[in-house]
């Protein structure tokens, strides 16, 4: 050995042809043995599969790999835990709607599973918004900056929005007719709507702050609200959402995108990583045609299933995170453990603060302001209800589908009886069974309106220009209401007269 | 094979050699550590282990989305309470803030709230950090005045990372709606108004909307866009990598050594820069418009000058709105323009500040071009009787390192700011015609 170590390469004996052949033979033998072993294993695997009743099917293996590649290469699937409540979306049309808007609206509707109006979208400061309002606000801003004309901005919920459509003509007529009206007898008077269905404080105040910050320069701001402020607060609490939050029925659907939460996002990323591993593995297996071999194919499919199981586990973790997210602060807001009385107090405080904020914002800009408490059917003494109004107002507060979705036709006494000895069902002896949501709204009007009026007196005492229109239909016997809170054109014309009178007083006071 | 009687002396020699090597190494390390400290001291930047630890903590706090979360406790960046979620009126908020609000409401309904003097600190992350690190100095200044000498002064940190107008206005209004009435409001803002609006515009989002990197990622559905999700995955992986690196520095006590910190912080800064680059990539991807256009808000004029005009106007309008709310509720109001690194002339920048202050271009440009406009527009506020204090030149003569990124400054800077705000606040309180306590 030591001698060999001492030899140089030149001195080493060169391998002979026999030696080389021997080595090649050994190599070929080894390769042949491996191939034979693989062959035997392949045959064995096929026999085993056949004996197990599942003969090897290379086409099926290829199919499984292809499916895995196709399905696991896609993004993280949508949250499947959301259940559609089946409410058909509203189909409000708009002549100015662009095709892009329409496409976006369609996408939006699909994204929310049809749970909200196709035009509804998340808004950072209002909770949700109607997509069409963006363009309308732009038009309002441009018009309000022109030197001529008198621009009136109306804020509030659906009644305020209806008022712009049905009552503004009468309002304009009365304003122009008044001597000393700053807009003149024939100058253009434009009424702009920044009201949205189911808006309640602080949404009106935020909408005004946003519109003013965006450059709107109105000559008069009118807020018409009250009912949604108390009614939605109660329905929110029933839904486990803070009374100050936007309508839970809309917010919870739109805000239910758990991938916005970093914890769920991290799990989404983990799921994506594991799914990508499945896809990459399937791609490699397909490229190598492992399906042609029962042995390699079985091993590959085994590994594939293992990876898929890991991805499924990640999916389960993500689902759990989704669930936790849904129960978290994003949707329900700060914890609210109070009674419905507390919820009403909270709502009325917010309504009052909203009015003060809006008045303050306007005052700081020298814009006259008027806050109107809208009338509502179930406020006792608001109106002698007609037969039709009793029938419609009791069951159609949200529409039959929504009432059903909100909890079916549970007895109103069951929902509110514990706190209200009279029970919502006793009010005017409704002719139809009240849904839980209807009962909340009736109760909200009955208990909330006296408190709103009392608060309004305080606000008026501070100098806030206020108009109590809650009794504007007190002597009207004809049918005006279409449901618990919304009324027809005749009602809006009557409301316009009250508002015009009070607005003119306020304008005159400002002029002095 | 050595004879058995020679074994102990050979083994002893081996041990001796080993001990010598280890000892020399330890001495070399000690010398290097001492040398590094001496070198730093001679250069006027004496090593401060605590400052290094805070630096690492600050780095961790910036890693979730590149703007620090609410300030306390910063170590707990994985606390679910700090997870940011959609908020119906603020756009985005930390889950913890939303959940704690119930306790805040309870306090303001209590007798204590009527006795104490409660100050709300509104703004973005600089305001939040000021509340944590500078508010005590500020209150000390107030206590020098006989009016506050015996009062219990409390401050409420309402600043949130990346908030800008109209968010501060809406935060205050929401607090009032909940029955939370402060005695005073301190608004500390400016940077986000000109930097984030510019970034929003470059990403195709309405400038007055909340910061696009947070809002678009949450209001749209990034999981449905594989390319975006992949970009976010890479970003999160880098951010978590830097967090792990930073945690090692803290857990292994590396921050106690000048020498080890030198290398560790260099590596950390490099890794953070890499994460920032990926943050920019995610922003770019979000800007590509794969997200819902409705989330991006109304159409707007993307011309940078027009964006700047609307941003400055929103800042002025926001201040006027908060002033109006405060006036109506008898709350003292002081609006402060915060200092920021990329505002030309705001501070002589140290090499560390140059290295760490590098930011995305829209932020740097926003600060450079926007600050002169904010200063000019502040005249409108003063004209309307709003108590305004321009702190943008507060660090103009400070040679020490204060900034640890493009807009956030350390405890020393916050304490300086706290002391500087004492007098203007006292003046504003004296000018308040109808303070809450008197009503």
Smallest Cα–Cα separation from B367: which of B400, B336, B342, B348?
Answer: B342
Q: How does pLDDT run across B265-304, given as a tens digit for each residue?
A: 889 888 888 888 887 777 777 666 544 556 788 888 999 9
Find the closest chain B residue to A125 by CA distance.
Answer: B89
Confidence of residue A499 (pLDDT cuts 50, 70, 90): very high
Asked if A364 lies within 8 A of B323 by C-beta distance, the reply is yes
Give the separation between CA B197 and CA B208, rounded to whole angstroms: 6
List the domain boundaries for chain A.
58-82+97-118+247-332, 131-245+338-511
Asked if A334 lies within 8 A of B209 by C-beta distance, the reply is no
Position with higher pLDDT, A117 vs B169: B169
Asked if B217 lies within 8 A of A260 by C-beta distance, the reply is yes
Asked if A346 lies within 8 A of B225 by C-beta distance, the reply is no
Q: B360 lies in a domain? A: yes
Taking the CA atoms of A333, A338, A341 and A342 in sequence, report the sign of the dihedral they define.
negative
Provide the 3-class DSSP secondary structure of residue A90.
coil
Asked if B222 lies within 8 A of A263 by C-beta distance, the reply is no
- Measure CB to CB from residue B86 to each of A121, A202, A260 and give the nearest one: A260
For A289-297, what is the mean pLDDT?
86
Domain count across chain B: 1
* N-to-C CA span, chain B: 101
Smallest Cα–Cα separation from B108: which of A353, A460, A332?
Answer: A353
Smallest Cα–Cα separation from B403: which of B367, B361, B369, B374?
Answer: B367
CB < 8 Å to A261, chain B:
83-85, 218
Q: B167 lies in a domain? A: yes
Q: Is the peptide bond before A386 cis (omega within 30 degrees of 0)?
A: no
> In sequence order, what E strands does B68-181 have?
84-87, 91-94, 117-123, 153-157
CB < 8 Å to A202, chain B:
89, 170, 173-174, 177
For A6-31, what is the mean pLDDT?
74
Residue A483 tokens read as 């449901």
Q: B238 lies in a domain? A: no
Q: B47 lies in a domain? A: no
Q: Output the DSSP codes for B268-324.
A: HHHHHHHHHHHHHHHHHHHHTT-S-TTTT-S-----HHHHHHHHHHHHHHHHHHHHH
- Measure CB to CB from residue B233 to each of A124, A262, A273 and give the nearest one: A273
Provide the 3-class DSSP secondary structure of residue A69.
helix
User: Is residue B430 predicted with pLDDT exceeding 90?
Assistant: yes
Residue A389 tokens read as 């109004």
User: Is residue A211 predicted with pLDDT exceeding 70?
Assistant: yes
Most confident of A75-79, A362-366, B37-41, B117-121: B117-121
Give the separation between CA B258 and CA B37, rounded to whole angstroms: 6
User: Is residue A286 predicted with pLDDT exceeding 60?
Assistant: yes
Confidence of residue B180 (pLDDT cuts 50, 70, 90): very high
Residue whose pair of structure tokens reads 């979306």 in the numeric block: A89
> Percentage of residues in chain A with pLDDT exceeding 90?
38
Give the separation between CA A108 and CA B220, rounded to whole angstroms: 10
**Strand partners for B352:** none
Query: In Å, how far is A15's CA from the nearest CA of chain B?
Result: 39
Position with higher pLDDT, B418 vs B47: B418
DSSP-derived secondary structure letter, A96: T
Q: Is the peptide bond before A39 cis (omega within 30 degrees of 0)?
A: no
Asked if B85 lies within 8 A of A329 by C-beta distance, the reply is yes
**Strand partners for B117:** B153
Range with lowest mean pLDDT among A78-82, B17-21, B397-401? A78-82
User: Is residue B416 predicted with pLDDT exceeding 70?
Assistant: yes
CB < 8 Å to B223, chain A:
75-76, 78, 259, 265, 268, 272
Asked if A202 lies within 8 A of B170 by C-beta distance, the reply is yes
Confidence of residue A246 (pLDDT cuts 50, 70, 90): very high
User: Is residue B205 predicted with pLDDT exceeding 50?
Assistant: yes
Query: In Å, how far is A201's CA from the nearest CA of chain B?
Result: 8
Measuring CA to CA, how many Å separate B247 from each of A133, A398, B56?
48, 54, 8
**Strand partners for B317:** none
Residue B120 tokens read as 């709300």
| C-beta separation of A420 from A394 below 8 A | no
For A232-242, what is the mean pLDDT?
88
Taking the CA atoms of A460, A463, A469 and A474 in sequence, report the sign of the dihedral they define.
positive
> What pLDDT is attached to residue B69?
32
Most confident of A207-211, A401-405, B378-382: B378-382
Measuring CA to CA, how many Å separate B424 from each of A396, B133, B316?
57, 19, 19
DSSP-derived secondary structure letter, A432: S
Give the separation between CA A464 and CA A456, rounded to whole angstroms: 9
CB < 8 Å to B327, chain A:
360
Find the closest chain B residue to A346 by CA distance.
Answer: B178
- Domain coverage including residue B107: 67-220+291-438
Asked if B236 lies within 8 A of A269 by C-beta distance, the reply is yes
For A144-153, what is the mean pLDDT?
92
For B192-203, what is the mean pLDDT?
93
Confidence of residue B437 (pLDDT cuts 50, 70, 90): low
CATH of the domain at B212: 3.40.50.1110
Q: How does pLDDT run across A382-395, given as a tens digit for each residue?
A: 999 888 887 766 54
CB < 8 Å to B85, chain A:
260-261, 325, 328-330
> What pLDDT is attached to residue A155?
97
> What pLDDT is attached to residue A423?
31
For A227-246, what is the mean pLDDT?
91
Range with lowest mean pLDDT among A1-15, A117-131, A489-503? A1-15
For A407-431, what is the mean pLDDT?
31
Tell which of A132, A135, A260, A360 to mutate to test the B interface (max B CBs under 10 Å). A260
Give the separation between CA B202 and CA B193, rounded to whole angstroms: 14
Confidence of residue A66 (pLDDT cuts 50, 70, 90): confident
Give the separation between CA B23 and CA B29, rounded to whole angstroms: 10
Give the separation between CA B325 and CA A208, rounded to whole angstroms: 14
Average pLDDT, chain A: 78
SS3 content of chain B, % helix, strand, coil (to 5): 60, 10, 30
Position with higher pLDDT, B344 vs A397: B344
> What pLDDT is attached to residue A265?
67
Position with higher pLDDT, B175 vs A290: B175
> What pLDDT is attached to residue B233?
75
SS3 content of chain A, % helix, strand, coil (to 5): 60, 5, 35
Q: How does pLDDT run across A183-206, given as a tens digit for each residue?
A: 888 889 999 999 998 999 999 999
User: Is residue A164 predicted with pLDDT exceeding 70?
Assistant: yes
Range with lowest mean pLDDT among B31-35, B122-126, B338-342? B31-35
Smallest Cα–Cα separation from B105: which of B179, B42, B159?
Answer: B179
CB < 8 Å to B209, chain A:
124
Confidence of residue A83 (pLDDT cuts 50, 70, 90): very low
- Measure CB to CB from residue B225 to each of A75, A111, A135 and give the nearest one: A75
> What pLDDT is attached to residue B285?
72
User: Is residue A12 predicted with pLDDT exceeding 70?
Assistant: no
CB < 8 Å to A243, chain B:
none
For A27-38, what is the mean pLDDT?
90
Q: How far is CA A13 from the centre of its chain?
A: 86
Q: How far is CA B141 from the centre of its chain?
A: 23
> What pLDDT is attached to residue A264?
67
User: Is residue A129 predicted with pLDDT exceeding 50?
Assistant: yes
> What pLDDT is attached to residue B151?
85
Q: Which element (helix H / strand E) includes A331?
A: helix A329-332
Q: Which element (helix H / strand E) includes A221?
A: strand A220-225
CB < 8 Å to A357, chain B:
173, 176-177, 325, 328
Asked if B89 lies within 8 A of A346 by C-beta distance, the reply is no
Asked if B89 lies within 8 A of A134 by C-beta distance, the reply is no
- β-strands B184-189, B153-157: how paired? unpaired
For A215-225, what is the mean pLDDT?
95
Q: How does pLDDT run across B347-401, given as a tens digit for each residue?
A: 999 998 998 888 788 899 999 999 999 999 999 999 999 999 999 999 999 999 9
CA B303, B307, B310: angle at the middle one, nearest 5? 140
CB < 8 Å to B105, chain A:
334
DSSP-derived secondary structure letter, A265: H
> What pLDDT is attached to residue A233?
94
Smallest Cα–Cα separation from A192: which of A148, A153, A146, A134?
Answer: A153
Residue B373 tokens read as 């406009």
Position with higher pLDDT, B370 vs A68: B370
Asked if B89 lies within 8 A of A209 by C-beta distance, the reply is no
Smallest Cα–Cα separation from B117: which of B144, B77, B156?
Answer: B156
User: Is residue A416 predicted with pLDDT exceeding 60?
Assistant: no
Give the separation between CA B219 and CA B19, rounded to whole angstroms: 63
| C-beta separation of A224 from A374 below 8 A | yes
- Ordered alpha helix ranges (H), A200-261: 203-213, 227-238, 248-254
SS (HEC) of B2-39:
CCHHHHHHHHHHHHHHHHHHHHHHHHHHHHHHHHHHHH
CB < 8 Å to A205, chain B:
173, 177
> What pLDDT is attached to residue B279?
79
Residue whose pair of structure tokens reads 């930047």 in the numeric block: B45
User: Is residue B46 predicted with pLDDT exceeding 60?
Assistant: yes
Tell which of B294, B310, B380, B384 to mutate to test the A interface (max A CBs under 10 Å). B294
Tell which of B66, B78, B85, B88 to mutate to test the A interface (max A CBs under 10 Å). B88
> What pLDDT is attached to residue A322?
67
Smallest Cα–Cα separation from A298: which of A53, A94, A42?
Answer: A42
> What pLDDT is attached to residue B225?
64
For A63-91, what is the mean pLDDT?
47
User: Is residue B64 predicted with pLDDT exceeding 90?
Assistant: no
Confidence of residue A404 (pLDDT cuts 50, 70, 90): very low
Residue B211 tokens read as 């910061």
CA atoms within 13 A on the CB side of B400: 11
Query: In Å, how far is B140's CA from the nearest CA of chain A?
Result: 32
DSSP-derived secondary structure letter, B81: G
Average pLDDT, chain B: 86
Find the closest chain A residue to B212 by CA distance.
Answer: A124
Look up the ipTM and state it: 0.72
Give the separation between CA A246 and CA A239, rounded to whole angstroms: 12
User: Is residue A333 predicted with pLDDT exceeding 90?
Assistant: no
- β-strands A127-130, A120-123: how paired? antiparallel
Q: At what angle do helices A262-287 and B226-251 cross, to 10 degrees?
A: 110
CB < 8 Å to B301, chain A:
none
Q: A131-245+338-511, superfamily in CATH?
A: SGNH hydrolase (3.40.50.1110)
Cα-Cα-Cα-Cα torsion A23, A28, A29, A32, nearest 10 degrees, comes to: 170
Query: In Å, how far is A223's CA from the nearest CA of chain B?
Result: 17
> What pLDDT is attached to residue A505?
95
What phi, psi does B402 have (nearest 5°)?
Answer: -120, -40
Residue whose pair of structure tokens reads 């009178």 in the numeric block: A501
Give the separation between CA A193 and CA A159, rounded to whole angstroms: 11
- Measure CB to CB from residue B85 to each of A126, A203, A328 and give the nearest one: A328
Give every CB contact of residue A148 below 8 A, 6+ residues apart in sequence.
Answer: A187, A188
Cα-Cα-Cα-Cα torsion B200, B206, B212, B217, nearest 10 degrees, comes to: -150
Position with higher pLDDT, B323 vs A282: B323
Confidence of residue A398 (pLDDT cuts 50, 70, 90): very low
Range with lowest mean pLDDT among A34-48, A371-385, B41-55? B41-55
Confidence of residue A15 (pLDDT cuts 50, 70, 90): low
CB < 8 Å to B328, chain A:
356-357, 359-360
Give the separation between CA A88 and CA A86, rounded to whole angstroms: 6
- Measure CB to CB from residue B176 to each of A213, A245, A353 and give the nearest one: A353
For B168-172, what is the mean pLDDT?
96
Give the separation between CA A37 and CA A34, rounded to whole angstroms: 5
Asked if A361 lies within 8 A of B324 by C-beta distance, the reply is yes
Tell which of A72, A98, A124, A264 to mutate to test the B interface (max B CBs under 10 Å). A124
Query: In Å, how far is B40's CA from the nearest CA of chain A?
Result: 40
Range with lowest mean pLDDT among A194-198, A318-322, B104-108? A318-322
> Percentage of residues in chain B with pLDDT exceeding 90?
52
């Amino acid at each position: 050995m030591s001698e060999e170590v001492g030899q140089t390469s030149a001195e080493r004996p060169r391998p002979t042809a026999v030696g080389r052949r021997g080595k090649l033979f050994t190599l070929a033998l080894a390769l042949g043995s491996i191939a034979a072993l693989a062959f035997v294993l392949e045959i064995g695997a096929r026999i085993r599969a056949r004996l197990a009743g599942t003969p090897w099917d290379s086409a099926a293996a290829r199919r499984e790999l292809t499916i895995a590649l196709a399905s696991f290469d896609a993004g993280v699937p949508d949250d499947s835990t959301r259940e559609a409540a089946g409410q058909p979306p509203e189909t409000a049309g708009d002549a100015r709607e662009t095709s892009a808007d329409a496409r976006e609206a369609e996408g939006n509707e699909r994204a929310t599973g049809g749970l909200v109006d196709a035009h509804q979208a998340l808004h950072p400061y209002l909770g949700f918004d109607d997509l069409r309002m963006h363009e309308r606000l732009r038009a309002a801003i441009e018009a309000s900056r022109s030197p001529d004309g008198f621009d009136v901005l109306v804020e509030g919920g659906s009644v305020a929005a209806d008022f712009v459509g049905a009552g503004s003509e009468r309002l304009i007529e009365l304003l122009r007719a008044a001597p000393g009206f700053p807009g003149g007898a024939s100058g253009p008077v434009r009424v702009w709507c920044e009201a949205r269905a189911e808006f309640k404080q602080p949404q009106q105040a935020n909408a005004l702050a946003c519109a003013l910050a965006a450059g709107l320069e109105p000559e008069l701001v009118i807020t018409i609200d009250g009912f949604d402020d108390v009614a939605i607060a109660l329905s929110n609490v029933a839904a486990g959402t803070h009374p100050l939050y936007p309508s839970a029925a809309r917010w919870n659907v739109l805000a239910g995108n758990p991938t916005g939460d970093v914890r769920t996002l991290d799990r989404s990323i983990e799921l994506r990583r594991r799914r990508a591993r499945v896809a990459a593995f399937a791609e490699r297996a397909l490229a190598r045609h492992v399906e042609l071999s029962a042995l390699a194919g079985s091993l590959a499919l085994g590994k594939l299933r293992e990876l898929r199981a890991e991805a499924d586990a990640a999916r389960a973790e993500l689902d759990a995170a989704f669930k936790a997210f849904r129960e978290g602060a994003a949707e329900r807001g700060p914890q609210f453990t109070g009674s419905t009385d507390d919820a009403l107090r909270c709502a009325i405080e917010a309504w009052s603060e909203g009015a003060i904020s809006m008045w303050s914002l306007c005052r700081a800009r020298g814009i006259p302001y008027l806050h109107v408490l809208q009338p509502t059917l179930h406020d006792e003494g608001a109106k002698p209800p007609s037969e039709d109004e009793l029938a419609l107002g009791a069951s159609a507060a949200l529409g039959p589908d929504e009432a059903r979705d909100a909890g079916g036709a549970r007895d109103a006494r069951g929902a509110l009886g514990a706190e209200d000895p009279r029970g919502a069902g006793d009010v005017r002896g409704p002719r139809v069974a009240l849904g839980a949501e209807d009962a909340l709204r009736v109760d909200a009007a009955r208990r909330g309106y006296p408190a709103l009026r009392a608060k309004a007196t305080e606000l008026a005492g501070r100098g806030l220009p206020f108009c109590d229109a809650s009794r504007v239909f007190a002597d009207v016997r004809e049918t005006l209401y279409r449901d618990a809170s919304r009324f027809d054109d005749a009602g809006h014309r009557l409301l316009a007269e009250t508002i015009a009178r009070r607005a003119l007083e306020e304008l005159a006071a400002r002029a002095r | 094979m050595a004879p058995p009687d020679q074994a102990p002396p050979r083994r002893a020699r081996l041990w001796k050699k080993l001990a010598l090597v280890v000892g020399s190494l330890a001495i070399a390390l000690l010398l290097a550590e001492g040398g590094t400290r001496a070198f730093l001291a001679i250069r006027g930047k004496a090593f401060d282990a605590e400052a290094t630890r805070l630096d690492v903590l600050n780095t961790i706090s910036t890693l979730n989305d590149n703007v620090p979360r609410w300030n306390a406790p910063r170590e707990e960046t994985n606390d679910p309470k700090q997870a940011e979620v959609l908020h119906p009126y603020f756009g985005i908020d930390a889950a913890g803030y939303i959940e704690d609000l119930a306790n805040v409401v309870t306090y303001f309904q209590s007798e204590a709230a009527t006795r104490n003097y409660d100050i709300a600190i509104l703004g973005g992350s600089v305001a939040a950090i000021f509340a944590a690190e500078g508010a005590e100095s500020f209150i000390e200044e107030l206590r020098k005045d006989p009016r506050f000498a015996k009062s219990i002064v409390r401050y409420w940190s309402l600043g949130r990372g990346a908030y800008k107008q109209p968010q501060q206005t809406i935060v205050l209004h929401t607090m009032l709606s909940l029955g939370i009435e402060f005695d005073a409001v301190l608004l500390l803002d400016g940077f986000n108004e000109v930097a984030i609006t510019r970034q929003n515009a470059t990403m195709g989002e309405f400038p007055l909307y909340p910061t696009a990197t947070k809002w678009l990622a949450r209001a749209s559905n990034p999981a449905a866009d594989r390319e975006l999700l992949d970009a976010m995955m890479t970003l999160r992986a880098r951010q978590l990598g830097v967090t792990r690196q930073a945690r090692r520095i803290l857990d292994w006590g590396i921050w106690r050594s000048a020498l080890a910190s030198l290398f560790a912080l260099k590596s950390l800064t490099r890794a953070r820069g890499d994460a920032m680059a990926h943050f920019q990539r995610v922003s770019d991807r979000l800007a590509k418009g794969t997200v819902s256009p409705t989330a991006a808000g109304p159409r707007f004029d993307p011309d940078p000058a027009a964006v700047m005009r609307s941003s400055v106007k929103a800042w002025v309008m926001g201040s006027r709105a908060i002033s109006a709310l405060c006036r109506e509720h008898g709350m003292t109001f002081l609006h402060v323009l915060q200092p920021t690194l990329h505002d030309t002339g705001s501070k002589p920048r140290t090499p560390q500040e140059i290295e760490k202050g590098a930011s995305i271009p829209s932020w740097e440009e926003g600060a450079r071009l926007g600050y002169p406009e904010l200063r000019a527009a502040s005249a409108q506020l003063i004209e309307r009787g709003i108590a305004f204090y321009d702190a943008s030149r507060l660090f103009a003569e400070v040679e020490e390192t204060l900034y640890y990124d493009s807009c956030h400054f350390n405890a020393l800077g916050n304490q300086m700011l706290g002391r500087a705000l004492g007098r203007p606040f006292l003046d504003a309180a004296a000018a308040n015609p109808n303070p809450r306590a008197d009503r």
